[in-house]
Chains A and B, each alone.
Chain A
Amino acid sequence: MKLTVWTYEGPPHVGAMRVATGMKDLHFVLHAPQGDTYADLLFTMIERRSHRPPVTFTTFQAQDLGSDTAALFKHAAQDAHDRFQPQAMIVGSSCTAELIQDDPGGLADTMGLPVPVIALELPSYSRKENFGADETFFQITRCLAEPIERTARISCNLLGPTGLGFRHRDDVTEIAALLEEMGVDINVVAPMGASPTDIARLGAAHFNVLLYPETGETAARWLERTHSQPYTKTVPIGVGATREFIAEVQELSGSTVMPDDSRLRLPWWSSSVDSTYLTGKRVFVFGDATHVRAAARMAQEELGFEVVGLGCYNREFARDIRAFAREMGLEATITDDYLEVEAAIEALQPELILGTQMERHIGKRLNIPCAVISAPVHVQDFPARYSPQMGFEGANVIFDTWIHPLVMGLEEHLLAMFREDFEFHDAAGPSHHGHSVPAGTVEGRPTPDPALSAATAAAGKEASMVDAPALPAEGNVIWLADAERELKKIPFFVRGKARRNTELFAAERGMHQISVDTLYEAKAHYAR
């Protein structure tokens, strides 16, 4: 058992739902207890879908547990088929049904339904949502993709986009247009938007574009093996990665066309003098492996940040991300425990966090600006406007998204410097962080001054559920009043770093008090 408050990923059957909901004319019959239908609202609310997900839950109850859960399943599957007339069905068990050991695949086989019925194995107690999506898409592909003649013109499939995917909708639009510009036809986009009939035509493409390894890699590998379709290895997020991706596509397709990049603004925006202050800003990157890898590269090469820490929550990609981090001289944080991520961020005191919805909240607590780069995300990250992450427009979107909280930070600082106005006094905190209830609020405790949160957060931890991070100076060094006041004159967005560095400096020298002099000696010591 493991005590959990927040999970980065849902159970594997939610991954299967993401595939089913993304597709058309496919129906999913999920053997699950009453209550598991909660997952519907992820699609109808967060993604704002206007239709119910094509999922029938058997919703068994305690009184059904005797012998007839199997009959209940068959009844539900028959009803679903008769009502929705899908081209194919998938069947599987949620975590509770896995325990009662009805066999949805076997049961469906005995029913003689007139459409293909694909059985899913979703090990709920060892795997998670992304595995569920990847496995489901793979099984659908394996069952339905037929040997078929290649299209006359050069074409490819786009693999991996699903329901509830972070910016999948616009990434597909962006990359499809880029490929068409290069003279490459899109054969099938799958699973999102594809019907079982479309899956049957996957083999007609000359190669595959793997947009999201998390949800499409197993299918891509299988298609490579069985249908001799090579697939692209670079995920086109960022200017450099997009250019590499284009080169890869040119190699696979023989196309010599360079897509028009006249609307790409990131390189100039990033070179303009207004961006100089971004140089060496310390960033921490966390999310799913694909987005983390892309973001870390962009941060370093395209925005001139310094990546001080990175990691991912999906263990399937742990080895890749560890190796990638080592190349950058870092140790990757591979964990699905947000308290570990929080501890890592707290110890590093970055100036910007690129992460998920959870890191956004950690950023709020620690008073560090944050931008969202990866699922899991909330409703505001399924925007109405066009906002891809991939391709040239994606790079523009990312520049704006990441810089926005920093510009706001500078703005806040300037306001505070020039006006001792009540609205801008030190304790008011940065308004865009939503500090009407200040950061670091802990159940039933007074709130630490946001300005001091970096140092006092550890004290607040006795009420939360994590051990204090191993800061060397913790509790041994006292800030003298003058030094404390001087520290408050430092802009809030670098104050945490200044405090940490000073305490480290003092601890290394065996000092027990920090005076104004210590503060400035430390500043000189760490200055570059």
Chain B
Amino acid sequence: MTEQRPLPQSGCRDTPILRERGQREVFCGLTGIIWLHRKMQDAFFLVVGSRTCAHLLQSAAGVMIFAEPRFGTAILEEKDLAGMADAHEELDREVTRLLSRRPDIRQLFLVGSCPSEVIKLDLSRAAERLSQQFAPHVRVLNFSGSGIETTFTQGEDACLASMVPGLPETEARNFVVVGALPDVVEDQALSLLAAMGIEHVSCLPARRAGDDPAVGPNTVFALTQPFLGDTAGALERRGATRIVAPFPFGEEGTTAWIAAVAETFGIAQHVFDDVTAAPRARARKAIAAQAQELNGKRVFFFPDSQLEVPLARFLTRECGMEAVEIGTPYLHKDLCGPDLALIAEGPVLSEGQDVDLQLDRCRANRPDLTVCGLGLANPLEAEGLSTKWAIELVFTPVHFYEQAGDLAGLFSRPLRRRAALRMGATSGPIEGPSAAQGLRPAAAGEVSA
């Protein structure tokens, strides 16, 4: 390939990992539903859980809640906890009601939560039973998005892994792109692969139930997301082979990802170069425009989505940043190995979390940019630290060439903003009435009239 950046001497592949246990400030896997249901247009996600689960989805989905979304929560009530047999009848009734009102639904996911897992409600049996009842029109599947078992994006992994055993069988040599990408990104990826002459490409998840990829011993697949360990395992159990590659973030990551696929399919070097040269140049130019603010700046990642390792690789190698700590909820060394190898030695690699200890480290380091969840972002801003809230990286199109500039932009914008605002204080107001008491009565009437 052309213009390779120098490789670090040994990378972070063998860096010892700081493993911590304590309070974790993370989402549970149910949150994955918010973007999965957009991707799978004929699927409905029915969480079996508590009011807390419904409240979480509502808080995470924001305004999306009001657009008749294809997800909901069957809230457990006291009577459901009293006896188990009843719970299945209740579930059947709710599902029947739901499906009769939403005849457009072809796949129904029963999503386990902490409460349903703790009372050991057998949702897989329920899924089997309901599948028989509603076959062939609706397929009913089951996975767990509970906080006790899954962290944030792992919900997608659990969902996709639950689909793998039901995928059709094939003997053909085909290629599966694994991971729910925004449609625009998926189209770009498919057209790059098509331009190189790679045939029989499909996606998991597919946009509709009928378009599911087939799997067999000659299937090869590549992950577009680092959090898909269980899905990869399930595909391998069906005989498929995983293409090992860094994840397609930035120009370098995308090129390496496509190169690994091209190599697997024996695509000639000149074909690869012809197809990728123009978008590579575009991506580099777009990144350069954003990287000015990022160059030489220090970044600290709190654990959130497992995207932290490949994103740290992108920011350090393509935007000139220095990683201080790369926190991730789980480090799948096998999947992230290629990315780890590309990150220069130096940063602390941490897996899991004790949020108070990690906050202490973050404050002591005073990084230029902290990537963290919304529960930490404003409090850290009030302490004078610039933050980039991490959830946006999961909802926004960030993969492959055309989004590389946007991806860098997500990180440069908070720094640009901090530089642009010149009002003195950055810390937030002290909440509560004591601080506000001086406001009224004289000034207030004038202000709001």
Chain A positions within 8 Å of B, measured between CB atoms, are 1-7, 9-11, 13-14, 22, 24, 33-42, 44-45, 47-52, 56-62, 64-65, 76, 79, 83, 94-96, 99-100, 124-126, 128, 161, 163, 169-170, 172-174, 176-177, 181, 189, 192-193, 260, 263, 265, 358, 361, 364, 378, 385-387, 393, 396-397, 400, 441-444, 462-466
| Listed A/B pairs (15) with beta-carbon separation below 8 Å | A10-B51, A34-B147, A34-B151, A42-B59, A44-B379, A49-B379, A57-B23, A61-B149, A62-B117, A94-B52, A95-B51, A96-B50, A173-B433, A177-B441, A443-B68
- Count: A-B pairs, CB below 8 Å: 266
Q: How far is the CA of A9 from the CA of B90 in the complex (A)?
A: 23
> Is B26 close to A, CB under 8 A?
yes
Assess whether A1 is in contact with B374, with CB atoms less than 8 Å apart. Answer: no
Min distance, Cβ A85 to any Cβ of chain B, angstroms: 13
The chain A residue with its CB closest to the CB of B24 is: A59
Which residues of B lie under 8 Å from residue A393 when comparing CB positions?
Answer: 440-441, 444-445, 448
User: B43-67: contact bitstring with A at CB < 8 Å (1 yes, 0 no)?
Assistant: 0001010111011101110110111
Knowing A7-B54, A361-B66, A385-B447, the reply to whether A1 touches B148 (Cβ < 8 A) is no
> Is B396 close to A, CB under 8 A?
no
Q: How far is the CA of A14 from the CA of B28 in the complex (A)?
A: 17
Which residues of A lie under 8 Å from residue B27 when comparing CB positions?
Answer: 35, 38
Assess whether B375 is in contact with A96, with CB atoms less than 8 Å apart. Answer: no
Which residues of B lie under 8 Å from residue A13 when comparing CB positions?
Answer: 52
User: Which B residues between 62 and 109 are near A, CB-CB below 8 angstroms?
Assistant: 62-63, 65-78, 80-81, 87, 90-91, 93-94, 97-98, 101-104
Assess whether A124 is in contact with B448, with CB atoms less than 8 Å apart. Answer: no
Residue from A10, A44, A169 within 8 A of B432 (CB atoms): A169
Which residues of A lie under 8 Å from residue B440 when comparing CB positions?
Answer: 173-174, 177, 386, 393
Assess whether A1 is in contact with B91, with CB atoms less than 8 Å apart. Answer: yes
Assess whether B437 is in contact with A100, with CB atoms less than 8 Å apart. Answer: no
> Is B420 close to A, CB under 8 A?
no
Min distance, Cβ A221 to any Cβ of chain B, angstroms: 23
A5-B72, A58-B23, A125-B80 are known; give 19 further A-B pairs, CB within 8 A: A1-B75, A4-B73, A5-B69, A7-B51, A35-B30, A39-B59, A41-B375, A52-B379, A59-B22, A61-B149, A62-B146, A64-B148, A125-B78, A170-B436, A172-B433, A378-B63, A386-B444, A443-B67, A443-B68
Main secondary structure of the interface of B (DSSP, over half): helix
Assess whether A397 is in contact with B97, with CB atoms less than 8 Å apart. Answer: no
Q: How far is the CA of A467 from the CA of B146 in the complex (A)?
A: 32
Which residues of B lie under 8 Å from residue A181 when comparing CB positions?
Answer: 441
Min distance, Cβ A394 to any Cβ of chain B, angstroms: 10
Which residues of A lie under 8 Å from residue B434 when comparing CB positions?
Answer: 189, 193
Q: How far is the CA of A383 from the CA of B56 in the complex (A)?
A: 23
Assess whether B54 is in contact with A4, with CB atoms less than 8 Å apart. Answer: yes
Min distance, Cβ A366 to any Cβ of chain B, angstroms: 13
Interface stretch of the complex, out of B10-18, B249-257, B423-431: B423-431
Residue from B148, B374, B378 within 8 A of A34 (CB atoms): B148
> Is B135 close to A, CB under 8 A?
no
Q: How far is the CA of A85 from the CA of B27 in the complex (A)?
A: 27
Q: How far is the CA of A172 from the CA of B437 in the complex (A)?
A: 8
Assess whether B448 is in contact with A462, with CB atoms less than 8 Å apart. Answer: no
Assess whether A126 is in contact with B433, with CB atoms less than 8 Å apart. Answer: no
User: B24-49: contact bitstring with A at CB < 8 Å (1 yes, 0 no)?
Assistant: 11111111000000000100001010
User: B287-303: contact bitstring with A at CB < 8 Å (1 yes, 0 no)?
Assistant: 00000000000000000
Assess whether A33 is in contact with B74, with CB atoms less than 8 Å apart. Answer: no
Assess whether B445 is in contact with A37, with CB atoms less than 8 Å apart. Answer: no
> Is B184 close to A, CB under 8 A?
no
Which residues of A lie under 8 Å from residue B97 when comparing CB positions?
Answer: 3
Residue from A83, A99, A396 within 8 A of B119 (CB atoms): A99
The chain B residue with its CB closest to the CB of A262 is: B445
> Is B382 close to A, CB under 8 A?
yes
> Is B377 close to A, CB under 8 A?
yes
Knowing A2-B75, A386-B447, the reply to whether A124 touches B52 (Cβ < 8 A) is yes
The chain B residue with its CB closest to the CB of A467 is: B101
Which residues of B lie under 8 Å from residue A173 when comparing CB positions?
Answer: 433, 436-437, 439-440, 444
Q: How far is the CA of A79 from the CA of B360 in the complex (A)?
A: 14
Q: How far is the CA of A88 from the CA of B317 in the complex (A)?
A: 49
Min distance, Cβ B38 to any Cβ of chain A, angstroms: 10
Residue from A10, A125, A260 within 8 A of B76 (CB atoms): A125
